[in-house]
Amino acid sequence: MNREEIIDWLLSSDPSIRWQVKKYLLNETDEAIHDERLRIDSEGWGKKILSFQDEDGKWSGQLYNGKWTSTTYTLLLLANFGIIPNSKTEKACHQLFINGVYNDEEIRFSSKQKLRDNGVTGLVLGILSYFEFDDIRIHGIADYLVRSQNADGSWFFDDKEGAEIYSFETTMIVLKGLFEYKKRYPERSRNLIEAEKKGQAFLLNHHLFLNIETNLPINKKWLKISFPYYWFYDILVALDYFRELNLNEDRLKTAIEIIRNKQKKDYKWNLENKHSGKTFFEMEQVGKPSRWNTLRCLRVIEWWNKSP
């Protein structure tokens, strides 16, 4: 198959994929892209997910637990779809915020929680920012995350011994949360510049996945690409983040080559991994051609090829 045939294959899918093909691979007009995004809540996967929403705005009666059908992860998936914020998502965001905000600077969904969770806080900050949820206390959450950054640029989810094991996951979640926050509140972007640069440098210094001392993968699971990726880290999640920033860097090259080599002879990429847990429905099968991964890999590689 050639590129044109792959594009046709991607366009024969869900509107959540089609609008991104039109934007990132075809450079269509803003009007055409917007019209396609409008279809997400009335067709296909987006419509189906919205149909499972509870009357009070939650999903599965859960704020965070009950992965992957809780309110947090359902909103995250809808954001990955690119759904345009609407009254249903606003209602869900209201539930997340009023039941999660803690000391006007963190997100804690349980009254029994004794330690911070920067991963959950960063995740919810990104969700609330994407869906344009308006509450002045959101600024306190962003400021708190900046203050919680480690000296090496990483973030740990809490202060307990062993939290460093998930430093890449937590750092990526927080960086993506701050990125969405900056898009929502560009006037506050100056407050984030130093923290963002330090966090990006932490990932880049490891070429996204390598142990600096041994030059071996820190975690081989990071080399398997999945969708939905939820809170998990992998090299494609990181590459797509740097693509969004338009930050072309030599230290991305190794990860780019790994992604490039995963392309099959038919020009597609497979779904390589699935994160276990309950879902409303399955979009794709592990080991089979994946429209989600093909879209994401293709836009990363084409961005890289066009960058100076």
pLDDT (tens digit, 9 = 90+) per residue, 16-32? 999 999 999 999 999 99
The pLDDT of residue 111 is 87
Measured CA to CA in angstroms, residue 289 lies from 20, 132, 271, 285 at distances of 18, 34, 6, 8
Count the residues in the chain.
Answer: 308
The pLDDT of residue 233 is 98
Is 298 exposed, middle or buried, given 0-12, 13-18 or 19+ CB atoms closer than 10 A?
Answer: buried
The pLDDT of residue 146 is 98
Give kind and range of the element (H or E) at residue 266. Answer: none
pLDDT above 90 as % of the chain? 98
For residue range 72-123, list pLDDT tens digits in order.
999 999 999 999 999 999 999 999 999 999 999 999 999 899 999 999 999 9
Cα–Cα nearest to 58, from 40, 81, 75 = 75
DSSP 83: P
Q: How many CB atoms lie within 10 A of CB 199?
A: 24
The pLDDT of residue 149 is 98
For residue range 157-215, list pLDDT tens digits in order.
999 999 999 999 999 999 999 999 999 999 999 999 999 999 999 999 999 999 999 99
127 - beta bridge partners?
Answer: none
pLDDT over 80 (residue 15): yes
pLDDT band, very low/low/confident/very high, at 305 (cuts 50, 70, 90): very high
Q: Which residue has the tokens 């997100």?
A: 107
- Give the start-end residues of each E strand in the chain: 101-102, 106-107
- Are the CB atoms for 21 and 295 separated by under 8 Å? yes
For residue range 216-238, list pLDDT tens digits in order.
999 999 999 999 999 999 999 99
For residue range 138-170, list pLDDT tens digits in order.
999 999 999 999 999 999 999 999 999 999 999
Tokens of 190: 């100056």
The pLDDT of residue 307 is 79
For residue range 262-295, list pLDDT tens digits in order.
999 999 999 999 999 999 999 999 999 999 999 9
Tokens of 285: 């099968």
User: What is the distance between the alpha carbons of residues 80 and 127, in angstroms, rounded to a whole number?
Assistant: 10
101 - beta bridge partners?
Answer: 107
The pLDDT of residue 137 is 97
pLDDT band, very low/low/confident/very high, at 44 (cuts 50, 70, 90): very high
Please compute Rg for the chain using Cα positions.
Answer: 19
- Are the CB atoms for 75 and 83 separated by under 8 Å? no
User: What is the distance between the alpha carbons of residues 201 and 212, in angstroms, rounded to a whole number?
Assistant: 13
User: What is the distance between the alpha carbons of residues 230 and 237, in angstroms, rounded to a whole number?
Assistant: 10
Q: Which residue has the tokens 């130093």?
A: 194
Cα–Cα nearest to 242, from 154, 307, 155, 157 = 307
The pLDDT of residue 299 is 98
DSSP 181: H
User: What is the distance between the alpha carbons of residues 155 and 170, in angstroms, rounded to a whole number?
Assistant: 6
Tokens of 97: 């915020």
User: What is the distance between the alpha carbons of residues 59 and 92, in angstroms, rounded to a whole number?
Assistant: 8
pLDDT over 90 (residue 48): yes
pLDDT over 90 (residue 308): no
pTM of the model: 0.97
pLDDT band, very low/low/confident/very high, at 1 (cuts 50, 70, 90): confident
107 - beta bridge partners?
Answer: 101
